Amino acid sequence: MISRQHFADLAHLTFSVSLGNFQCEIVGWGFIEPRWWRNYMHTHSFFEVCYAYQGQGLFHFGGTNYTVRAGDVFIAKPGVAHEIISSTEDPLGIYFWSYTLCEQEEKGDGPISKIDALLRAYLTSPSVVSDHTPSMLRTLELLTEEGIHREPGYVQVVQGLVVKLLLDTARAIVDPGMLGGSPIPPAYSPEEIVTQTIKRYLSDNYARAITMRDLASQVHLSERHTARLFRKVTGDSIMHYLTQMRLMKASQLLRDRQATLSIKEIAQSCGYPDVRYFTTLFHQRTGLTPALFRQQGGVSGAALLTHTLVPGH
């Protein structure tokens, strides 16, 4: 019987593998024994995949709760807030591994390969949990064995098993209907993927102070390159986009007649600790103070919030 915790020993290996027109870089490996644990809400700039080999728990991903059990694989996609909470009665034990996955530049107009079709569908699939994992546990055990014994050629064996693990994960998540005669969803360019990661981070964290350093660290680029790339893809600055998002969130709270939040609390929940600044900015954009906007049900100023804000705010 192998010692499962040695799966984490694979962390000394750093490598990338090619899958069709995609490049995958392995970021890390880990293992958690069955016990009560919780990793609290957080985000990554890479994929994190978990396989439950024992017990059960709760996987909170993108605002939805999923119950996960032994035999399930579940995926935290880049930029989406998530957390895992182990059951106290039947503690959760998992293997987990993380990686980046990017499609390279297209090489001509030929037919798309089946691997590329699978991985494109994986990137866009709404599913994040699956029990379709008939051979995944054995693959993980083989990886652990190779990491323990490290016999000649073990690195190459590990790379081959990683390819199988990545493809089996995609097969588990992707609905076969996405691969039949249906058109393959268009692939995102690397720049668009980075931009989507930034947008998701802003959406997950708009309630707190956000700096360019925070955003740059999420996408592993310089602050200047991050700002330039976002503007190139969206035609908007990051801070301008964030302001629009915050004011839209605030307007939704102000229009909610069931809400009991004060204007100060709404400002703070939308990333504005200074209620005076929030009031001034909101008035500049809608022509109404937050109090009047709430009083009128948002009818007069709501349409203005769908347009671009004045540059500089």
- Report CA dihedral (292, 295, 300, 305) to the nearest 10 degrees: 70
Instruction: Say how far apart CA 192 and CA 128 lie, in whole Å.
Output: 21
**3-class state of residue 5 by DSSP:** helix
pTM over 0.75: no
Question: Strand pairing of 56-61 and 82-86?
Answer: antiparallel
Collect all residues with Cβ–Cβ distance below 8 Å to 78 and sequence separation of at least 6: 43, 44, 45, 46, 47, 193, 197, 200
The pLDDT score that the predictor gives to residue 299 is: 57
Q: What is the pLDDT of residue 296?
A: 83
- Taking residue 235's Cβ as centre, other Cβ atoms within 10 Å add up to 9
Q: Sign of torsion, CA 154 162 193 238?
A: negative
d(CA 95, CA 139): 11
Q: Say what the alpha-carbon torsion angle 278, 281, 285, 287 is, to the nearest 10 degrees.
A: 80
Task: Reply yes or no on domain 190-306 having CATH 1.10.10.60.
Answer: yes
pLDDT score, position 112: 76
pLDDT in tens, 174-195: 987 767 654 455 567 888 989 9
Q: What is the pLDDT of residues 266-293, one digit of tens each?
A: 999 999 999 999 999 999 888 899 999 8
**CA dist 271 to 57, 141, 211, 242, Å?**
32, 46, 12, 10
Task: Please list the rounded mean pLDDT of every run of 10 residues in the chain (313 residues).
Answer: 80 87 92 94 93 97 95 95 96 95 73 87 93 95 92 94 96 82 61 91 92 90 93 93 93 84 93 94 90 78 48 36
Q: What residue ranges in the chain does DSSP mark as E strands? A: 16-19, 22-35, 47-54, 56-61, 64-69, 73-76, 82-86, 92-103, 129-130
For 173, half-sphere exposure in the C-beta direction (CA atoms, 13 angstrom radius) is: 26
What pLDDT, on the 0 to 100 scale, is given for residue 5? 82
Q: Residue 28: which residues within 8 A CB-CB, separation 6 or more?
A: 11, 97, 98
Give pLDDT, residue 285: 86
**Residue 1: predicted pLDDT:** 55
Residue burial 74-91, b: 16+ Cβ < 10 Å; e: rest: bbbbbbbbbebbbbeeeb
Tokens of residue 224, six digits: 């200047």
Could you write out the DSSP letters of every residue in 142-169?
HHHHHHHH--TTHHHHHHHHHHHHHHHH
Show Cβ contacts of residue 253 under 8 Å, excluding neighbours closer than 6 positions.
259, 261, 266, 269, 270
Please give the structure tokens belonging to residue 139: 């693959």
pLDDT at 180: 61
Record: fold of 4-178: Jelly Rolls (2.60.120)
pLDDT of residue 308: 41
Domain definitions of the chain by residue range: 4-178, 190-306
For residue 270, CA distances in Å to 6, 62, 210, 211 come to 44, 18, 12, 15
